[in-house]
Structure 1
């Protein structure tokens, strides 16, 4: 009855990261599997996979009992098979799976397809969704609905898409939706007839209300029908409804699942009026059955909407907002094309690459479409995409990431117990380190005179909502911002104490050294790095300050000395609160670098911290 993307048994954080990580684990698992190892219930191979999931923090349930473990191993890996990435019984990675592995290892999220202007990992998931094994041509059917509505659906219509295969074609589905006959079309007529017959005889069975999860809900429906609705029909005593609303055990299940479909009122008196009207209606018997059926469909559809949103977001073409779901402006052009099915077929079966569909730059129809948007070259197309992103980014920042909000978010990084709140406030599709990088980029855009491009230049992978997403294999986490007289490198870290010493002491200076060697000598002299972390280790501070004396070289050149400015998240919050711009801060930073104090922790405490505390507040927060 329902066709959707994803798996209701699998609710994971960081979906893309989870997909990529699991595929890398299966590569390891299958490579080491013996000839006699089998992927079957309770098998040692499934237990080995469970242990890999646990070792890589991909399994939230830590119960190591065999039954639970093998079930978890099967359920968590099922979507990879649905997307034709693995074949667990054959113990192999598919051709499509190897394509994704190659993209992951080559960090293809940093490479855009020229024609669609989307990163290659997103393009791969668009391809995989077009080849979705669980329901043939499902994405194509969804896209046909989008095509009819010129690339934009109301949220309500999108929610109903999992019902599409119950109809002959897209037009009949839309007709039923517009005429509000979807529920009547799908109503199980035989069960309705049986229910009406039993109602006359006052002899009920649970069969017509049973679900895949059992008959507990069905029993509660029959109980509520008999002791509330039918009882009222006989006595007309409104105290029955009053007791029904107040009762906290017997009818709780019915009220939780179905009451909202009878009344949405807040006051008890208004609820009783609606219940009375519903029960006294001429067609109560049919209405009651339809109510249960409609409520179940709607509750399921809301569940599947969440899955569809998360999985289709991987494709890089869907934009979700409060009241609608849209396709990206460039992908709307694909659906406008007279040969859109041929184009989608190429996306589904051709290798994922930067050049895929590039031949259509010379297509007559696309030239006309591009002309409407003043696009005459690849450069124009890139500019158009960037302008679209900046507009959407401006709206996102205004709605979600004001200075006040960012100050609060920054404070949450000081305690890892706040991880769930951070994901709720920023994105559930990114790990906390990725969220930290994104938040620092947002803060820096404010410091740099509201320059939105700083967010796009931060070397981050963003989804179609321009929120961060994490990958199993990441690259360098530093941002490099070019200015007229210098370049600024910002490197961020959530590491603490010994971990910070191991992870950052060598890498930050190496990244900065390589950057300085790549610049003109005059520009290199003015360039520096800022290191930002919630916690600053004293010996990391000492190491960073000692770099003013160090040589760094490659095969062609060398530099002597480099400047690294350490800031805690509290320091950054003070800077943001001060409303001083980067232009105004830069001379203060250069003064700090000239300071004669070379004892790092002392330099930080007596010079850097003091300068930041003395900043004051220039204007009110905007």
Structure 2
């Protein structure tokens, strides 16, 4: 029997395209804008049209490859070029013709100027502020209707305060119209109260769509064939993708309807042909183990009692099978969208993803909660300003910022008594350091830091990305981890978030920008009984051998020399951290002790010598393992600087060996005196 086609209809929104999941997300957007700008500036391309022009699209792919933006050789260059750029169209940074919009040019200018300072009431970087505005304007068209995902997210957060990662993944994207969105806060509360499950909410929303009700009716009214299963599955790509469900259905029917347990192993075997995540979800639903050997040895012992296993007739079986098949398909799709949606949302730097909780940061929360009633009216309309870098009030008149409303909201929520935005900034900073402390305690323990240093030495980049982030390149992450290590060694004193000269996401993890920024961590120390007032420049590099000599010797000494000339503090010095030191780099840095550094604009100004201390990751691990503090390390570096040891032995004797004696430096003065007295007695 032939069945008519039941069309697939989208049940969720998404940002960008899943065919382009890129690491270093911010960097890649900025680089892509720069490449497009250069590509269209070429005389031969200036008058070319992108739309329906495979030749120019293929040429852009080649241009990306020439500039090392892509590697390999795409089978369909034009398609790859479209996919690499389509997400930027969605958020208004480029037009359909791939020319930069006003908003795209504004972001490119920020990137090229390398000025990411926060100059707005949200206290977020300039590029993040632009991304936030673009996300407020971005909309999806679903089945002829419009939804603005970011405004929907703000609406839900205003109603339920936060979203768990599960709620964010499986429920938020289902809000494709006003009716579903209006009822979602109550459904989320029901999930939290235990009166509904996530799965029940998903099915409640999806199964009432007309194509699903039509498909279920068709399944219930007919004998099941392969064609029928493929028809009611309405796979997005092709009906043939659902063919494996038919033999699986037949085997499972034998077990659940006919109660023939001999088919349990066949159920497991037939599930192997189901593609991707739904296969795993079916197995988790039906079996209590993932061990194929255990199931093969005793299938009946591992077959779970579930709703589908307890059916009384085929109608019940068909209904539950249909529900579970589409539940698993929907959840697989939504989990695929999670990563991409999160990457786009995080560009705004106002949404926190912390401990599997999604929430607004302090100032944005107070502002958007105060205007959401009016802003929600824009949630299911398109914005005429999507391509423009406009003021917030052009997006919606309700977005005029009232600082007193923000201040009142902070006081109400936190029980504070502030009266100015400067005081609000201090509260934001205090909260950032609280979150940093939590991040270090839970995510960057000593064991994890040592594992990361091992991974830097071995260049296990995938491990590094999985532990820290994949929105920053490995050199940036190395600098960030060095900052964390030094902050811990400094007993968490000082404004490390200011000292690290790199960009951080709202979650306080690093992100890389096109062109990079300063390579330094500039750590400021006030005078104590252990050391004078000084600034420590920490330079981090993963270059080695001749690359290390070529890339680092001049910049390191230049950074320190210019700093000393600018500040006049001759106690300031530099630590050069790397995985493997080159002997000639050590030699060069030692020579700086005796070499003056001149102001190139005024030769009468110079510093007589510079203190540059090289440090390998091996010694950084010793510092962590021995819990050395900076007040213990400072005299080690000072003694090493003043040592007359010959260069080939200098690092190993004066730094490496001394740092390894960490117990000596991490003990209190009293403890060291006791040890000394005991040694004298012996």
Q: Give the TM-score of the pair, scaled to structure 2.
A: 0.81
Aligned to 1:238: 261
By how many angstroms is 1:386 displaced?
1.0
| Consecutive unaligned residues in structure 1, runs of 5 or more | none
Q: How does 1:250-269 map to 2 (within 5 A)?
A: 256=279, 258-260=281-283, 262-263=285-286, 265-266=288-289, 268=299, 269=301
* Matches of 1:13 and 1:69, distance apart in 2: 20
Q: Within the alignment, does 1:551 sit opposite 2:596 as a pair? A: yes
Aligned to 1:337: 370
Aligned to 1:198: 222
By how many angstroms is 1:481 displaced?
1.1
SS at match of 1:549: coil
By how many angstroms is 1:314 displaced?
1.0
Q: Within the alignment, does 1:120 sit opposite 2:168 as a pair? A: no
Aligned to 1:442: 484
SS at match of 1:553: strand
Q: Within the alignment, does 1:106 sit opposite 2:113 as a pair? A: yes
Aligned to 2:245: 221
Q: Deviations 1:518-558 (Å, cap 9, x if unpaired)?
A: 223xxx22111010111222222222111122222334532
Aligned to 2:4: none
Work out which of the residue numbers 640, 646, 655 in structure 2 matches 1:608: 655
Q: Within the alignment, does 1:534 sit opposite 2:579 as a pair? A: yes
Confirm or deny: 8 A CA contact 1:360 1:366 kept in the other structure.
no
Q: Deviations 1:68-102 (Å, cap 9, x if unpaired)?
A: 3222211111111111112352x521101111011
Aligned to 2:535: 487
By how many angstroms is 1:42 displaced?
7.2
SS at match of 1:101: helix
Aligned to 1:564: 612
By how many angstroms is 1:370 displaced?
4.1
Aligned to 2:636: 588
Confirm or deny: 8 A CA contact 1:513 1:562 kept in the other structure.
yes
Confirm or deny: 8 A CA contact 1:438 1:455 kept in the other structure.
no
Confirm or deny: 8 A CA contact 2:407 2:421 kept in the other structure.
no
* Matches of 2:228 and 2:59, distance apart in 1: 49
* Matches of 2:339 and 2:525, distance apart in 1: 42
Aligned to 2:422: 379
Confirm or deny: 8 A CA contact 1:209 1:215 kept in the other structure.
yes
Query: Which 10-residue stretch deviates more, 51-60 or 392-401?
Result: 51-60
* Matches of 1:369 and 1:56, distance apart in 2: 48
SS at match of 2:70: coil
Work out which of the residue numbers 99, 102, 121 in structure 2 matches 1:95: 102
Q: 1:243 to 1:207 in 2, by over 3 A?
A: closer
Q: How does 1:314-325 map to 2 (within 5 A)?
A: 314-325=347-358
* Matches of 1:297 and 1:406, distance apart in 2: 38
Query: Which 10-residue stretch deviates more, 25-34 or 249-258?
Result: 249-258
* Matches of 1:361 and 1:249, distance apart in 2: 56
* Matches of 2:359 and 2:651, distance apart in 1: 49
* Matches of 1:278 and 1:260, distance apart in 2: 17
Aligned to 1:68: 76
By how many angstroms is 1:572 displaced?
1.6
| Consecutive unaligned residues in structure 2, runs of 5 or more | 1-9, 142-146, 191-195, 290-294, 527-532, 668-682
By how many angstroms is 1:458 displaced?
1.2
SS at match of 1:303: helix
By how many angstroms is 1:477 displaced?
0.9
By how many angstroms is 1:457 displaced?
2.0
* Matches of 1:27 and 1:81, distance apart in 2: 14
* Matches of 1:165 and 1:382, distance apart in 2: 36
Q: Deviations 1:442-472 (Å, cap 9, x if unpaired)?
A: 1101211233732542112111111111111
Q: Within the alignment, does 1:47 sit opposite 2:89 as a pair? A: no
Confirm or deny: 8 A CA contact 2:277 2:332 kept in the other structure.
no
The CA RMSD over aligned residues, in Å, is 3.2
* Matches of 2:607 and 2:107, distance apart in 1: 40
By how many angstroms is 1:191 displaced?
1.3
* Matches of 2:126 and 2:308, distance apart in 1: 58
